[in-house]
């Protein structure tokens, strides 16, 4: 990566990538230049933005994150609000960070791992910073009625082994998993 290392008289050296300086064409630095305190503070801020972007990309390379999740993880790593705000637009522009894609992946993964209903999945997405309207829209586009029926059937089979003939406990457990009462009633009738 193109850039340069700044060696302050006090403190540790730090790297400043050229891509962050592109927005400041009037700034020119040469090897051996003396940099005043204001300039040093500015260059350190660019270095921190670079570190924030690098960490964000590292986190996103492991799994999808919502903007809310990624922001929180970066805050936990002591990046400032301004450093994070300078990082997010680049990640979105390059499509590394995409709440719509995150929501789709989250829904598909949750349904594969554990049978849960729409209500619970949307609530989980809201906890991850996804607005209800987006979660609802994507759920409806990703989950067909056949898939929803398959998921509720899996939940029914699993819970009916656990509760046997106790219909009340079975219904309550399915409601807690986020299935609607009408869907539960329908699956109970089909399996009687």
- Give me the DSSP letters along 11-42: S--EEEEHHHHTT-TT----TT----HHHHHH
Q: What is the CATH number of domain 3-93?
A: 1.10.10.10
Q: Tell which phi-psi region holds residue 11, choosing left (phi > 0), alpha (psi between -120 and 50) or beta.
A: left
How far is residue 3's CA from residue 21's CA, in Å, rounded to a whole number? 9
pLDDT-derived band at 10 (thresholds 50, 70, 90) equals confident
Over its C-alpha atoms, the chain yields an Rg (Å, rounded) of 25
Quick one: which of 155, 112, 118 has its CA closest to 138? Answer: 118
pLDDT digits (tens, 9 = 90+) for 159-192: 999 888 888 999 999 999 999 999 999 998 988 7
Q: What is the pTM of this model?
A: 0.84
How far is residue 160's CA from residue 156's CA, in Å, rounded to a whole number? 6
Tell whether the model's pLDDT for residue 4 goes beyond 90: no
Quick one: which of 126, 6, 1 has its CA closest to 66? Answer: 126
């Amino acid at each position: 990566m193109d850039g340069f290392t700044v060696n302050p008289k006090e403190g540790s050296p730090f790297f400043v990538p050229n891509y962050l300086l592109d927005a400041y064409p009037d700034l020119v630095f040469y090897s051996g230049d003396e940099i005043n305190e204001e300039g040093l503070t500015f260059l350190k801020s660019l270095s921190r933005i670079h570190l924030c972007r690098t960490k964000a990309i590292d986190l996103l390379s492991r799994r999808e994150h919502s903007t809310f999740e990624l922001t929180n993880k970066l805050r936990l790593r002591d990046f400032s609000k301004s450093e994070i705000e300078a990082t997010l637009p680049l990640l979105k522009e390059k499509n590394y960070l995409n709440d719509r894609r995150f929501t789709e992946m989250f829904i598909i993964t949750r349904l594969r791992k554990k049978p849960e209903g729409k209500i619970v999945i949307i609530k989980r997405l809201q906890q991850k910073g996804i607005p209800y309207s987006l979660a609802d829209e994507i759920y409806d586009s990703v989950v067909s009625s056949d898939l929803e029926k398959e998921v509720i059937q899996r939940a029914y089979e699993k819970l009916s082994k656990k509760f046997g003939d106790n219909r009340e406990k079975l219904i309550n457990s399915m409601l807690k998993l986020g299935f609607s009462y009408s869907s539960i009633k329908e699956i109970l009738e089909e399996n009687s």
